[in-house]
Amino acid sequence: MSTAKFGVRGSTMARSAPHATGHGWAKDRTLLRVDHEGGIGWVATRYDLNLRVIELVRGSDEEVHRIAACWAQGQQKP
């Protein structure tokens, strides 16, 4: 499994690359994290400023990265 940080421009997280794990800050200042769970699939987690989980989504590589990209832009769901 490779680990790659999300590209960050200012306080905006750029779209994460498929097959990559990492974290970054969204426009709304929430922390986003994408991980690969061995043998299970992918998970995207969104945290508030107190590091409490706001949302958690499990799914395919493409689905999880698409949702993380929407969160990064301040959207709730695609």
Task: Quick: pLDDT tens for 18-53.
Answer: 567 899 999 999 999 999 988 889 999 999 999 999
- Give me the count of residues in the chain: 78
Q: What is the per-residue pLDDT for 25?
A: 92
By percentage, how much of the chain surpasses pLDDT 70?
73
3-state secondary structure of 77: coil
Q: For the whole prediction, is pTM greater than 0.85?
A: no
